[in-house]
Structure 1
Amino acid sequence: MSLITWQEFENVDVRVGTITLVEDFPEARKPAYKITVDFGEELGTKRTSAQITVHYTKEELLGRQILGVVNFPPKQIGPITSEFLLTGLYREDGSVILAVPDKAMPNGAKLG
């Protein structure tokens, strides 16, 4: 593991957002959802895809708050453009558990 400076950490823009739409992503190579998140007035709505189908249904995700890295450049993933990175933790089997705030926060709140 390499050490980073506080300045480098501050360059990562992690924000709270609320999932407003979850769609199947049949074109994905591995099972995934297309996810739309409201990051508040400053950032607006952003989309991404996420391989989180093992532990979450579309219905469970809708309305849930998540943490997302919002200052990556857009990345084309099949037919959609990923506009942020949904954060999560990998289990030994490779499945993902979401990293989420444990209390309700305003959309757009910044991790710091």
Structure 2
Amino acid sequence: MATELKPDVTYEESLATLDIRVGRVIEVEFEHRTPKPTYRMDVDFGKYGKRICFGQFTNHPIEEVRGRLVLGVLNFPPKQMGPVFSEILILGVQYPRGESGEATFVSPAVNAKIGSKLF
């Protein structure tokens, strides 16, 4: 089934405006206060600081998430999820056969430097 693509945009209109960097999940726990099942993840971005993210990565065991390299958007405003606020957006794609919103990580293929910029 073919779907329509979004209109073309330039690099300057799109990716150049986002600050996407490599971070490492240093702590993770299940969060019960959000409307859908989520993990609360503390992510270290090196010289860009530590940020808190709430995300629907719960099909991954906590032990697999802790220590994982992730890509995070650092310059989105905080997003409210129930009574909590996610400071960053961790990039992901739909988990295979997962429920709506369940995600798996988009991660570097090698041990990239923390704080490295996506380009």
TM-score, length of structure 2 as denominator length: 0.86
Q: Could you list the per-position Cα deviations for residues 66-87 of structure 1 after superposition, in whole angstroms to 9, with x for gaps in the alignment?
A: 0011110122222322111010
Structure 1: which amino acid aligns with 2:81? I
**Partner residue of 2:35 out of 29, 35, 52:** 29
In the alignment, the residues of structure 2 paired with residue 28 and residue 80 of structure 1 have an alpha-carbon distance, to the nearest angstrom, of 7
After superposing the two structures, state which structure 1 stretch, 101-110 or 77-86, moved more: 77-86
Unaligned runs of 5+ in 1: none
Provide the TM-score with structure 1 as the length reference.
Answer: 0.90
Give the share of equivalent positions with the same residue, in percent: 37
- Higher-Rg structure is 2
When the two structures are aligned, how many residues end up with a matched partner?
110
Q: Find the aligned partners of 1:36 and 1:24 in 2 and give their Cα distance.
A: 12
Q: Matches of residues 42-53 of structure 1 in structure 2 within 5 Å?
A: 43-53=48-58
Is contact 1:66-1:101 (8 Å) kept?
yes
CA root-mean-square deviation? 1.3
* Cα displacement (A) at 1:105: 1.0
Q: Distance in 1 between matches of 2:16 and 2:36?
A: 32
What does residue range 101-112 of structure 1 map to in structure 2 within 5 Å?
Answer: 101-112=108-119
Does the 8 A contact of 1:48 with 1:80 survive in 2?
Answer: no
| Contact 2:33 2:82 (8 Å CA) reproduced | yes
2:27–2:43 CA contact under 8 A, matched in 1:
yes
